[in-house]
Amino acid sequence: MPRPTVPPSAPVVRVRAPGKINLALKVGPRRADGYHELATVFQAVSLFDSVTAEAGRDGRIEVAVAGPGADAVGAVEDNLAFRAADLLRRWAGRPELGVALQVDKAIPVAGGMAGGSADAAAALLACAQLWGLTVSRDDLLELARQLGADVPFALVGGCAVGHDRGDRLTPALQRGLNHWVLALAEQGLSTARVFQKYDELSPAGDPGSAGPAPLDLMAALAKGDPVRLGAALVNDLAPAALALAPHLGRVVEAGRSLGALGTVVSGSGPTVALLARDGAHAIDLAVQLSSLGLAQRVLRVSGPVPGAHLVPA
Ligand code: C5P
Protein backbone atom coordinates (compact mmCIF):
# COMPACT_ATOMS: atom_id res chain seq x y z
CA MET A 1 0.00 0.00 0.00
CA PRO A 2 1.60 3.31 -1.03
CA ARG A 3 1.92 5.92 1.71
CA PRO A 4 0.94 9.45 0.87
CA THR A 5 4.20 11.32 0.52
CA VAL A 6 5.37 14.87 0.30
CA PRO A 7 5.62 17.09 -1.73
CA PRO A 8 2.13 18.20 -0.70
CA SER A 9 -0.42 20.28 -2.51
CA ALA A 10 -0.31 18.87 -6.01
CA PRO A 11 -3.23 20.79 -7.54
CA VAL A 12 -4.98 17.62 -8.74
CA VAL A 13 -4.55 14.11 -7.33
CA ARG A 14 -6.05 10.92 -8.76
CA VAL A 15 -6.23 7.55 -7.01
CA ARG A 16 -7.60 4.26 -8.34
CA ALA A 17 -8.91 1.51 -6.07
CA PRO A 18 -10.02 -2.00 -7.04
CA GLY A 19 -13.18 -3.99 -6.48
CA LYS A 20 -12.98 -7.41 -4.85
CA ILE A 21 -14.33 -10.91 -5.04
CA ASN A 22 -14.71 -12.98 -1.87
CA LEU A 23 -13.20 -16.36 -2.73
CA ALA A 24 -14.49 -17.61 0.62
CA LEU A 25 -16.99 -15.97 2.94
CA LYS A 26 -17.71 -17.87 6.14
CA VAL A 27 -20.19 -16.17 8.48
CA GLY A 28 -20.31 -16.55 12.25
CA PRO A 29 -22.65 -15.07 14.85
CA ARG A 30 -23.93 -11.50 14.88
CA ARG A 31 -22.05 -9.51 17.52
CA ALA A 32 -23.25 -6.88 19.96
CA ASP A 33 -22.16 -4.12 17.52
CA GLY A 34 -24.52 -5.52 14.85
CA TYR A 35 -21.73 -6.93 12.67
CA HIS A 36 -21.16 -10.61 11.98
CA GLU A 37 -17.94 -12.40 12.77
CA LEU A 38 -16.37 -13.35 9.42
CA ALA A 39 -13.61 -15.48 8.01
CA THR A 40 -13.15 -14.35 4.44
CA VAL A 41 -10.60 -14.50 1.64
CA PHE A 42 -10.53 -11.42 -0.57
CA GLN A 43 -9.02 -11.09 -4.00
CA ALA A 44 -8.74 -7.62 -5.56
CA VAL A 45 -9.68 -7.69 -9.26
CA SER A 46 -9.01 -5.47 -12.25
CA LEU A 47 -12.10 -3.31 -12.05
CA PHE A 48 -11.24 0.11 -10.62
CA ASP A 49 -13.10 3.18 -9.41
CA SER A 50 -11.11 6.37 -9.52
CA VAL A 51 -11.31 9.40 -7.25
CA THR A 52 -9.90 12.73 -8.38
CA ALA A 53 -9.32 15.37 -5.70
CA GLU A 54 -8.88 19.12 -6.20
CA ALA A 55 -8.67 21.88 -3.62
CA GLY A 56 -12.18 22.77 -2.42
CA ARG A 57 -13.71 26.13 -1.63
CA ASP A 58 -14.55 27.48 1.85
CA GLY A 59 -13.73 24.26 3.66
CA ARG A 60 -16.44 22.41 1.77
CA ILE A 61 -16.31 18.77 0.71
CA GLU A 62 -18.02 18.37 -2.65
CA VAL A 63 -18.60 15.04 -4.35
CA ALA A 64 -19.66 14.38 -7.95
CA VAL A 65 -20.24 10.79 -9.11
CA ALA A 66 -20.14 9.56 -12.72
CA GLY A 67 -20.27 6.19 -14.47
CA PRO A 68 -22.67 3.23 -14.62
CA GLY A 69 -25.06 3.21 -11.65
CA ALA A 70 -24.00 6.69 -10.47
CA ASP A 71 -27.69 7.62 -10.05
CA ALA A 72 -28.04 4.86 -7.45
CA VAL A 73 -25.32 6.36 -5.23
CA GLY A 74 -26.99 8.07 -2.26
CA ALA A 75 -26.89 11.67 -1.01
CA VAL A 76 -23.48 13.35 -0.83
CA GLU A 77 -23.23 13.20 2.98
CA ASP A 78 -23.86 9.42 2.90
CA ASN A 79 -21.25 8.90 0.21
CA LEU A 80 -18.28 6.96 1.54
CA ALA A 81 -15.87 9.25 -0.34
CA PHE A 82 -17.37 12.25 1.48
CA ARG A 83 -17.18 10.46 4.83
CA ALA A 84 -13.57 9.46 4.18
CA ALA A 85 -12.50 13.05 3.45
CA ASP A 86 -14.41 14.36 6.47
CA LEU A 87 -12.98 11.69 8.80
CA LEU A 88 -9.43 12.39 7.63
CA ARG A 89 -9.60 16.16 8.16
CA ARG A 90 -11.12 15.71 11.64
CA TRP A 91 -8.48 13.11 12.51
CA ALA A 92 -5.77 15.56 11.37
CA GLY A 93 -7.35 18.38 13.45
CA ARG A 94 -7.79 20.44 10.25
CA PRO A 95 -11.59 20.86 9.88
CA GLU A 96 -11.03 23.88 7.61
CA LEU A 97 -9.65 21.75 4.76
CA GLY A 98 -11.90 21.48 1.72
CA VAL A 99 -11.87 19.27 -1.35
CA ALA A 100 -13.78 18.69 -4.58
CA LEU A 101 -13.96 14.96 -5.27
CA GLN A 102 -14.88 13.41 -8.59
CA VAL A 103 -15.74 9.72 -8.30
CA ASP A 104 -15.67 7.74 -11.57
CA LYS A 105 -17.35 4.40 -11.07
CA ALA A 106 -16.60 1.15 -12.87
CA ILE A 107 -17.26 -1.21 -9.96
CA PRO A 108 -20.99 -2.07 -9.88
CA VAL A 109 -22.96 -0.06 -7.31
CA ALA A 110 -24.39 -2.28 -4.52
CA GLY A 111 -22.93 -5.24 -6.42
CA GLY A 112 -21.12 -7.13 -3.63
CA MET A 113 -17.73 -6.00 -4.94
CA ALA A 114 -17.08 -3.26 -2.37
CA GLY A 115 -17.33 -0.35 -4.81
CA GLY A 116 -18.26 2.12 -2.07
CA SER A 117 -15.35 0.87 0.00
CA ALA A 118 -13.00 1.35 -2.94
CA ASP A 119 -14.21 4.97 -3.20
CA ALA A 120 -13.56 5.49 0.52
CA ALA A 121 -10.05 4.02 0.29
CA ALA A 122 -9.25 6.10 -2.80
CA ALA A 123 -10.62 9.29 -1.19
CA LEU A 124 -8.53 8.72 1.97
CA LEU A 125 -5.34 8.39 -0.04
CA ALA A 126 -6.18 11.22 -2.47
CA CYS A 127 -7.06 13.70 0.29
CA ALA A 128 -4.00 12.81 2.37
CA GLN A 129 -1.85 13.54 -0.67
CA LEU A 130 -3.73 16.70 -1.70
CA TRP A 131 -3.63 18.14 1.82
CA GLY A 132 0.00 17.17 2.37
CA LEU A 133 -0.80 15.10 5.48
CA THR A 134 1.66 12.48 6.61
CA VAL A 135 -0.40 9.47 7.65
CA SER A 136 1.19 6.19 8.70
CA ARG A 137 0.02 2.94 7.15
CA ASP A 138 -1.46 1.85 10.50
CA ASP A 139 -3.36 5.11 10.91
CA LEU A 140 -4.74 4.86 7.37
CA LEU A 141 -5.91 1.30 8.06
CA GLU A 142 -7.56 2.38 11.32
CA LEU A 143 -9.38 5.24 9.56
CA ALA A 144 -10.42 2.80 6.83
CA ARG A 145 -11.82 0.41 9.45
CA GLN A 146 -13.97 3.19 10.87
CA LEU A 147 -15.48 3.78 7.43
CA GLY A 148 -16.56 0.18 6.74
CA ALA A 149 -15.59 -3.45 7.03
CA ASP A 150 -14.29 -3.73 3.43
CA VAL A 151 -12.38 -0.43 3.27
CA PRO A 152 -9.05 -1.72 4.68
CA PHE A 153 -8.88 -4.38 1.98
CA ALA A 154 -9.48 -1.79 -0.77
CA LEU A 155 -6.36 0.01 0.53
CA VAL A 156 -4.23 -3.12 0.72
CA GLY A 157 -5.43 -5.10 -2.34
CA GLY A 158 -3.80 -8.30 -3.55
CA CYS A 159 -5.15 -11.37 -1.82
CA ALA A 160 -5.81 -11.42 1.92
CA VAL A 161 -7.64 -13.24 4.68
CA GLY A 162 -10.03 -11.08 6.71
CA HIS A 163 -11.19 -11.88 10.24
CA ASP A 164 -13.36 -10.05 12.80
CA ARG A 165 -15.77 -8.02 10.65
CA GLY A 166 -13.57 -8.92 7.66
CA ASP A 167 -11.37 -5.94 8.42
CA ARG A 168 -8.45 -7.57 10.29
CA LEU A 169 -6.26 -8.57 7.39
CA THR A 170 -3.45 -11.04 6.88
CA PRO A 171 -1.83 -11.28 3.44
CA ALA A 172 -2.53 -14.58 1.66
CA LEU A 173 0.05 -16.38 -0.42
CA GLN A 174 -1.13 -16.62 -4.03
CA ARG A 175 0.66 -17.89 -7.11
CA GLY A 176 -0.44 -16.87 -10.57
CA LEU A 177 -3.30 -14.81 -11.91
CA ASN A 178 -6.98 -15.83 -11.89
CA HIS A 179 -9.29 -15.02 -14.79
CA TRP A 180 -12.92 -14.32 -13.96
CA VAL A 181 -16.14 -13.59 -15.79
CA LEU A 182 -18.54 -11.39 -13.85
CA ALA A 183 -22.30 -11.42 -14.32
CA LEU A 184 -23.66 -8.06 -13.19
CA ALA A 185 -27.29 -7.71 -12.14
CA GLU A 186 -29.71 -4.92 -12.94
CA GLN A 187 -30.71 -4.31 -9.31
CA GLY A 188 -28.19 -4.01 -6.47
CA LEU A 189 -28.58 -5.69 -3.08
CA SER A 190 -28.14 -3.96 0.28
CA THR A 191 -25.40 -5.66 2.32
CA ALA A 192 -27.28 -5.03 5.57
CA ARG A 193 -30.44 -6.61 4.09
CA VAL A 194 -28.53 -9.72 2.94
CA PHE A 195 -26.98 -10.23 6.40
CA GLN A 196 -30.45 -9.80 7.92
CA LYS A 197 -31.82 -12.47 5.54
CA TYR A 198 -28.88 -14.69 6.51
CA ASP A 199 -29.99 -14.40 10.15
CA GLU A 200 -33.61 -15.21 9.22
CA LEU A 201 -32.51 -18.33 7.34
CA SER A 202 -30.16 -19.54 10.11
CA PRO A 203 -31.58 -22.18 12.45
CA ALA A 204 -32.66 -20.66 15.77
CA GLY A 205 -30.16 -21.20 18.57
CA ASP A 206 -27.34 -22.12 16.17
CA PRO A 207 -25.26 -19.04 15.46
CA GLY A 208 -22.58 -21.23 13.80
CA SER A 209 -18.98 -20.15 13.67
CA ALA A 210 -16.92 -18.32 11.08
CA GLY A 211 -14.02 -20.71 11.73
CA PRO A 212 -10.65 -20.34 10.01
CA ALA A 213 -10.18 -19.57 6.30
CA PRO A 214 -10.81 -22.85 4.41
CA LEU A 215 -7.56 -24.85 4.16
CA ASP A 216 -8.30 -26.37 0.74
CA LEU A 217 -8.82 -22.90 -0.69
CA MET A 218 -5.62 -21.53 0.87
CA ALA A 219 -3.68 -24.50 -0.51
CA ALA A 220 -5.15 -24.00 -4.00
CA LEU A 221 -4.12 -20.32 -3.93
CA ALA A 222 -0.61 -21.10 -2.72
CA LYS A 223 -0.18 -23.72 -5.44
CA GLY A 224 -1.71 -21.54 -8.16
CA ASP A 225 -4.14 -24.35 -8.99
CA PRO A 226 -7.33 -22.87 -10.52
CA VAL A 227 -9.12 -26.24 -10.70
CA ARG A 228 -8.79 -26.77 -6.95
CA LEU A 229 -9.58 -23.12 -6.34
CA GLY A 230 -12.79 -23.42 -8.36
CA ALA A 231 -13.89 -26.41 -6.28
CA ALA A 232 -13.13 -24.59 -3.01
CA LEU A 233 -15.02 -21.31 -3.64
CA VAL A 234 -17.61 -20.84 -0.89
CA ASN A 235 -20.02 -18.15 0.26
CA ASP A 236 -22.31 -18.61 3.28
CA LEU A 237 -24.29 -15.53 2.20
CA ALA A 238 -25.27 -17.09 -1.15
CA PRO A 239 -28.58 -18.64 0.06
CA ALA A 240 -29.62 -15.26 1.50
CA ALA A 241 -28.67 -13.39 -1.70
CA LEU A 242 -30.52 -15.97 -3.81
CA ALA A 243 -33.58 -15.73 -1.57
CA LEU A 244 -33.68 -11.95 -2.18
CA ALA A 245 -32.80 -12.18 -5.88
CA PRO A 246 -34.00 -15.60 -7.12
CA HIS A 247 -32.91 -15.00 -10.74
CA LEU A 248 -29.29 -15.31 -9.54
CA GLY A 249 -29.88 -19.05 -9.25
CA ARG A 250 -30.06 -19.24 -13.05
CA VAL A 251 -26.73 -17.41 -13.39
CA VAL A 252 -25.06 -19.79 -10.91
CA GLU A 253 -26.56 -22.76 -12.78
CA ALA A 254 -25.35 -21.32 -16.11
CA GLY A 255 -21.83 -21.00 -14.70
CA ARG A 256 -21.87 -24.70 -13.87
CA SER A 257 -23.32 -25.84 -17.19
CA LEU A 258 -20.96 -23.66 -19.25
CA GLY A 259 -17.95 -25.32 -17.64
CA ALA A 260 -16.63 -22.65 -15.29
CA LEU A 261 -14.11 -24.09 -12.80
CA GLY A 262 -16.26 -22.62 -10.04
CA THR A 263 -19.08 -20.13 -9.63
CA VAL A 264 -19.58 -17.95 -6.57
CA VAL A 265 -21.79 -15.04 -5.50
CA SER A 266 -19.42 -12.18 -4.68
CA GLY A 267 -19.85 -10.91 -1.11
CA SER A 268 -23.48 -10.06 -0.46
CA GLY A 269 -24.24 -10.21 -4.22
CA PRO A 270 -25.80 -9.80 -6.65
CA THR A 271 -22.64 -10.03 -8.80
CA VAL A 272 -21.80 -13.65 -9.66
CA ALA A 273 -18.19 -14.58 -10.50
CA LEU A 274 -17.27 -17.49 -12.79
CA LEU A 275 -13.70 -18.77 -12.56
CA ALA A 276 -12.04 -19.58 -15.90
CA ARG A 277 -9.01 -21.78 -16.61
CA ASP A 278 -7.14 -18.96 -18.36
CA GLY A 279 -7.68 -15.81 -20.41
CA ALA A 280 -8.90 -17.65 -23.52
CA HIS A 281 -11.39 -19.69 -21.48
CA ALA A 282 -12.64 -16.46 -19.89
CA ILE A 283 -13.36 -14.98 -23.36
CA ASP A 284 -15.23 -18.15 -24.27
CA LEU A 285 -17.27 -18.17 -21.05
CA ALA A 286 -18.06 -14.46 -21.36
CA VAL A 287 -19.38 -14.86 -24.91
CA GLN A 288 -21.53 -17.83 -23.96
CA LEU A 289 -22.86 -16.21 -20.80
CA SER A 290 -23.70 -12.99 -22.68
CA SER A 291 -25.65 -14.92 -25.28
CA LEU A 292 -27.90 -16.38 -22.56
CA GLY A 293 -29.10 -12.87 -21.66
CA LEU A 294 -29.18 -13.64 -17.92
CA ALA A 295 -26.96 -10.75 -16.83
CA GLN A 296 -27.36 -7.02 -17.27
CA ARG A 297 -23.64 -6.85 -18.20
CA VAL A 298 -20.85 -9.40 -18.49
CA LEU A 299 -17.27 -8.36 -17.73
CA ARG A 300 -13.91 -10.09 -17.72
CA VAL A 301 -11.46 -9.29 -14.92
CA SER A 302 -8.34 -10.82 -13.45
CA GLY A 303 -6.77 -10.81 -10.02
CA PRO A 304 -5.01 -10.25 -7.78
CA VAL A 305 -4.24 -6.57 -8.46
CA PRO A 306 -2.80 -3.90 -6.12
CA GLY A 307 -4.88 -1.85 -3.69
CA ALA A 308 -5.51 1.92 -3.84
CA HIS A 309 -2.70 3.72 -5.67
CA LEU A 310 -1.90 7.11 -7.14
CA VAL A 311 -2.16 7.48 -10.92
CA PRO A 312 -1.36 10.49 -13.11
CA ALA A 313 -4.22 13.00 -12.92
O1 C5P B 1 -19.20 -2.17 6.96
P2 C5P B 1 -20.30 -1.87 6.00
O3 C5P B 1 -20.91 -0.52 6.23
O4 C5P B 1 -19.93 -2.10 4.58
O5 C5P B 1 -21.45 -2.94 6.31
C6 C5P B 1 -22.78 -2.75 5.88
C7 C5P B 1 -23.71 -3.59 6.73
O8 C5P B 1 -23.51 -4.98 6.47
C9 C5P B 1 -23.50 -3.45 8.23
O10 C5P B 1 -24.23 -2.37 8.74
C11 C5P B 1 -24.05 -4.79 8.76
O12 C5P B 1 -25.45 -4.77 8.83
C13 C5P B 1 -23.67 -5.76 7.65
N14 C5P B 1 -22.40 -6.45 7.97
C15 C5P B 1 -22.41 -7.45 8.93
N16 C5P B 1 -21.23 -8.08 9.24
C17 C5P B 1 -20.07 -7.76 8.61
C18 C5P B 1 -20.04 -6.77 7.61
C19 C5P B 1 -21.23 -6.12 7.31
O20 C5P B 1 -23.45 -7.76 9.50
N21 C5P B 1 -18.96 -8.39 8.96
pTM: 0.94
**Residue 139 parent element (H or E):** helix 137-147
Mean pLDDT of the chain: 94
Cβ neighbors of 305 (< 8 A, separation 6 or more) are 18, 44, 45, 46, 48, 157, 158
Question: Which atom of ligand 1 lies at the shortest distance from residue 117's CA?
Answer: 4
pLDDT digits (tens, 9 = 90+) for 95-147: 999 999 999 999 999 999 999 999 999 999 999 999 999 999 999 999 999 99
The residues, any chain, with a CB within 8 Å of residue 232's CB and separated by 6 or more, are: 23, 24, 214, 216, 217, 220, 262
CA 42 – CA 168 distance, rounded (Å): 12
165 CA closest ligand 1 atom index: 21
Binding site membership of 91 for ligand 1 (Cβ less than 6 Å):
no
Going from the N-terminus, what domains does the chain have, and what CATH number goes with each?
A: 12-171 (3.30.230.10), 178-303 (3.30.70.890)
Residue 76 has pLDDT above 90, yes or no: no
Express each pLDDT in 196-221 by its tens digit.
Answer: 999 999 877 666 778 889 999 999 99
Q: How far is the CA of 192 from the centre of ligand 1 (A)?
A: 6
Q: Find the 200 Cα to ligand 1 centroid distance in Å.
A: 16
Contact (Cβ atoms closer than 8 angstroms) between residue 129 and residue 90: no
